[in-house]
Amino acid sequence: MALAPSPLPGIPPRVQTIGRFDTRFIQVKLKLDQRRIMFGTEMNPYTVGPMPVKTMIGGLMPDPKTVRTEGVSLERCVRDANFKAVLQAKTELELQQTFAECLRNTNISPRLVTYNTSAKVDPIFAEKPDLAFKVLFRLSAGSEDEDEESDDNDDSSSFDFWRTLLGAEAKKHNVADPFADNPEEPKSGKATKSKKSKSKTKKDSSILRSSINPTSAGASSRGQVGMYSNTQFGFQHRRHLWQLIIIGPNARLVYYDRSGLISSESFNYTEDPEALVTFFWLLSRMDSEYLGCDSTVRDATVEEMADYAEALDTFFADALCKLPDSYDIRSSDSPIYAVQVHDEHSPGSVREVIIGAPLTTTRAVAGRGTRVYLAYDPNDKKIRVLKDTWYPVHPAFKPETEIYGLLTNAGVTGIAKVICGGDVLSGGLKPQETIVQDWATRPQEECPWRAPCADYMRKFRHLRMLMDFVYPVECLESSYALTKVLADICETIHLADSKAGVVHRDITPRHIGLVKKASGWGGILLDWDHAGLKDFVLSEEWPTVFCSSTTHFMSIRLLEDPALKRADQGDRSHQLVDDMEAVFWTFLWLCLQYFKHSSPLLGGDENLFDEVNYPKRNEGPALWYGGVTKLNCLVRRQLKDLPFESEPLAALINSLSAKWNLYYMGEELGEDRFRECERQLQDPKWMATYFDDAARNGSWPSNDRSDYQEFVPTPWAKSIKDRNVAQTLFLSGRKENVPMPTIRRAASRMGLQGTKGKRGREDDQLYKFSGKKTKTQSGSSKVTYWLRSGKTYKFPRPSGLTGPIKALGISKLLNRGDPDN
């Protein structure tokens, strides 16, 4: 299975619903606070709360009477607890140190160890919570009776996400509270509430519009703690996890699983420490099931660890090509685990494999949480790939193991071989599932405390698959080999459609793998977890199931209207042609990144793939809108005669871009030409033949591979980035947004219409367009596109636009009026 480079902890997540903005492919980098705000904003709809803290402890933790009592009783711990000293803390660092000391003095349990992680710089985990808590038994299942040797609480100890049970973040003032008890009440900069604010809280306590702090500081804090939990999910084997947020004398508990999070109400632990002490007392005594530890994972034995290390050495020594550095996990500090993989085709059959650090992790708390490992299979002593993921439970959705079964039974080639796989079963052989969505959908009378939250939160179920290893696409040495591989990918898409009735729906570079054939590298299409049956009719009740893709390579049609709710659109499903367009953008991205050229696209229009301006929610999940820059690139013929070292490659890109230009613009050229082009691009078999023919013709270089070529931001790109960040801030409460345009579709495809543009600032050479219906002469240098009425947008200066337009014989398009009028 092909794998992308492992991400750094703290990178913002993708949107896990429609149009996933995957930061593996991001070109314009964001600063830390901007990433936090983006992460926090994306978490908004998946937040349930504010739950009363006693309800939270009683509903999500065991009854204190049922846990084993060791050491000091709960009643005595509550009676002896004293956190008044935190009121004297003047800085966040003092607050952290004082809180940790007060908790230690409570003597809750000798098992509970507190670390002040900010006391020591950690070269590995730069982003980490202020406080960390460990319970002295191993996090894997079945080892809780094997107590580790107790050590002293040590503020100087290094922090790691591998073994930490609970993280805590400390803030001095309410303004930085990630969540809210009453959004009607503005956050103050102090930790205590005034009498006036108390009365207002009481008056408006039943009018809860949201459980999140809508300020930018709140979004940043929410993103900060969310990134911690995301990294902890990525590095540990957890079904759920807890988090503590300290806001001066107040605190909140947060419960996370893959469907979302539950935040408790804020409670004053200095005046009444019972809730806080009860939480830690139970935390240090409850079993792994309540802690959220995965009962199907255990620590590997010494012999198993030795076998795993030896197998990895052999694997890298015998590799058919040099693998990316990110694949070599042998120097990782990760613990080694033995993991169970159930086989759904053989009930009761369980295969155990050995794994270490993940090669890839996800970028979102809520969602699939996919991780990929190099796994040692002791059954045949091979290194394979283990995919660990969560999938949405819905009648219209098939888990990936079932999709692979359909493809295999239909005789589809060009897919990975699945050794075994199925739902992960816990004690009692029940599948592991999320529960946060249940609290979000309960009747309001059962949860009067609950602020309105998303009604589309989904139940997720845990799944693992063991597959044969395939090489990543980065191993290719020539554009010729890439062209042959893309022909194989198109053939697989064709077979999946014609034989099994399955559409992949998520074509990206990281979903293309390689296998060695007699004639060279062959292509393998991976990751069918977003695939669906082509005859599926999109459900009105759940529009997020079927429409999903990675925004960087998504078709213009889907980017323009990700929810596919346009009344004039006809077929509302993700169509086969969308996958074919994704193949084109994937091909272009790989060529620009890995093969020798001097194209200005690396320094000018790098927003070509990142142009998804902000996640927009309209009665549904966060959607990334875009497509304007891609359409602009096709219309302006920016991909014509790109300066690649390989002339056949440049010619292939030119011819493919001309066809997609004709697909979106071609009705102006005549019905026959347009219909022929439409028929070709909707046929993956035709596309496979097109790639094959291109590979057979021309003088392709044997090796035109270059080092990975970064997209270098320019002043224009930076202005785009600033605009995107401003729009993200808008979602968190700051009104700095520039409305995102949508592209108007004419007849059955996108159409372009002309308006009169106005010069933007000289430094970024942007145009600003009002969307008014204004005629423009075809020879004008102020040619732009129609946008929907009332929308504004900044476009790159369209110098040289009229030339290609005129050469294509469609200059009249620029004078066309609004088709709706």
Lowest mean pLDDT among 82-91, 225-234, 359-368, 808-817: 808-817
**pLDDT average, residue stretch 408-413:** 96
Banded model confidence at residue 548, pLDDT cuts 50, 70, 90: low
Compute the distance between CA of residue 145 and CA of residue 143 in angstroms, rounded to an integer: 5
Banded model confidence at residue 112, pLDDT cuts 50, 70, 90: confident
**pLDDT average, residue stretch 200-220:** 67
Q: What is the DSSP annotation of 383-438?
A: EEEEEEEEEE--TT---HHHHHHHHHHTT--SBPPEEEEEE-B-GGGPBPB--HHH
Does the pLDDT at position 65 exceed 80?
Answer: yes
- The reported pLDDT for the residue numbered 41 is 83
- The reported pLDDT for the residue numbered 348 is 75
Give the range with max mean pLDDT: 19-28, 718-727, 774-783: 19-28
Compute the distance between CA of residue 570 and CA of residue 590 in angstroms, rounded to an integer: 33
Does the pLDDT at position 728 exceed 80?
Answer: no
3-state secondary structure of 34: helix
The CATH classification number of 472-736 equals 1.10.510.10
Does the pLDDT at position 450 exceed 70?
Answer: yes
Higher pLDDT, 218 or 345: 218
- The reported pLDDT for the residue numbered 137 is 59
- Residues 6 or more apart from 529 whose CB is under 8 A from it? 368, 370, 389, 391, 399, 400, 403, 506
Lowest mean pLDDT among 225-239, 431-445, 454-468, 795-809: 795-809
- The reported pLDDT for the residue numbered 206 is 43
759-771 per-position pLDDT tens digit = 333 222 222 333 3
- The reported pLDDT for the residue numbered 668 is 58
- The reported pLDDT for the residue numbered 811 is 30
122, amino acid identity: D
Torsion of CA 728, 732, 733, 734, to 10 degrees: -30
Does the pLDDT at position 806 exceed 60?
Answer: no
Closest C-alpha among 793, 799, 617 to residue 720:
793
- The reported pLDDT for the residue numbered 326 is 84
- The reported pLDDT for the residue numbered 160 is 72
Q: How far is CA 73 from CA 69, 277, 779, in A?
A: 7, 11, 85
- Torsion sign across C-alpha atoms 62, 67, 72, 73: positive
Q: Are 642 and 651 a contacting pair, CB within 8 Å?
A: no
Q: What are the E-state strand segments in 238-379?
A: 241-247, 250-257, 260-264, 267-268, 297-299, 337-342, 350-355, 371-377
Q: Are 130 and 114 a contacting pair, CB within 8 Å?
A: no
Does the pLDDT at position 504 exceed 70?
Answer: yes
Compute the distance between CA of residue 527 and CA of residue 512 in angstroms, rounded to an integer: 9
Q: What is the 3-state secondary structure (H, E, C) of 38-92?
A: HHHHHHHHHEEEEECHHHHHHHHCCCCCCCCCCCCCHHHHHHHCCCHHHHHCCCH
Q: Are 470 and 517 a contacting pair, CB within 8 Å?
A: no
Measured in whole angstroms, how far is the alpha carbon of residue 452 from the centre of its chain? 24
Does the pLDDT at position 803 exceed 80?
Answer: no
Closest C-alpha among 742, 690, 740, 747 to residue 720:
740
**pLDDT average, residue stretch 632-639:** 82
400 token code pair: 């990936």
- The reported pLDDT for the residue numbered 5 is 32
391 token code pair: 């999938």
Q: In the block, which residue shows the tokens 């080639």?
A: 413
- Annotated domain spans of the chain: 25-190+204-292, 472-736, 752-815
- The reported pLDDT for the residue numbered 770 is 33
Alpha helices in 530-575 (DSSP H): 556-560
- The reported pLDDT for the residue numbered 429 is 77
331-379 per-position pLDDT tens digit = 778 899 999 999 887 777 899 999 999 998 888 888 899 999 999 999 9
CA angle 81, 100, 260 (to 5 degrees): 95
Q: How far is CA 628 from CA 92, 570, 584, 678, in A?
A: 45, 22, 17, 20
160-201 per-position pLDDT tens digit = 778 888 999 999 999 999 999 864 444 443 444 444 444 444
How many CB atoms are located within 10 Å of the residue 186 CB? 12
Pairing label, strands 47-51, 260-264: parallel
End-to-end CA distance of the chain: 51
Does the pLDDT at position 721 exceed 70?
Answer: no
Q: Are 36 and 731 a contacting pair, CB within 8 Å?
A: no
Does the pLDDT at position 2 exceed 50?
Answer: no
257-310 per-position pLDDT tens digit = 999 999 999 999 999 999 999 999 999 988 888 899 999 999 999 999 999 999
Percent helix, strand, coil in the chain, to 5, is 35, 20, 50
- The reported pLDDT for the residue numbered 653 is 94
Residue 56 φ/ψ, nearest 5 degrees: -65, -45
- The reported pLDDT for the residue numbered 4 is 34
- Residues 6 or more apart from 244 whose CB is under 8 A from it? 131, 166, 167, 168, 169, 251, 252, 253, 254, 279
Q: In the block, which residue shows the tokens 């809730």?
A: 275
Lowest mean pLDDT among 663-677, 698-712, 735-749: 735-749
Residues making up the chain, counted from first to last: 821
603 token code pair: 């320094």
Task: Write the Ramachandran bin of 545: left for phi over 0, alpha for psi from -120 to 50, otherwise beta.
Answer: alpha
Higher pLDDT, 641 or 275: 275
3-state secondary structure of 689: helix
- The reported pLDDT for the residue numbered 282 is 94
Lowest mean pLDDT among 106-110, 194-198, 392-396: 194-198
Banded model confidence at residue 404, pLDDT cuts 50, 70, 90: very high
- Torsion sign across C-alpha atoms 294, 295, 297, 300: positive
Compute the distance between CA of residue 653 and CA of residue 661 in angstroms, rounded to an integer: 12
Q: What's the mean pLDDT when you consider all of the chain?
A: 75
Q: Are 254 and 262 a contacting pair, CB within 8 Å?
A: yes
Does the pLDDT at position 8 exceed 60?
Answer: no
The H or E element containing residue 289 is helix 288-291
- Bond prior to 796 in cis (omega within 30° of 0): no
Give the range with max mean pLDDT: 104-108, 450-454, 573-577: 104-108
Q: Are 770 and 790 a contacting pair, CB within 8 Å?
A: no
Banded model confidence at residue 490, pLDDT cuts 50, 70, 90: very high
Closest C-alpha among 307, 311, 333, 321 to residue 383:
311
Pairing label, strands 250-257, 502-503: unpaired
- The reported pLDDT for the residue numbered 813 is 29
Compute the distance between CA of residue 182 and CA of residue 451 in angstroms, rounded to an integer: 9
- The reported pLDDT for the residue numbered 138 is 43
Report percent pLDDT > 70 for the chain.
68
**pLDDT average, residue stretch 416-432:** 89
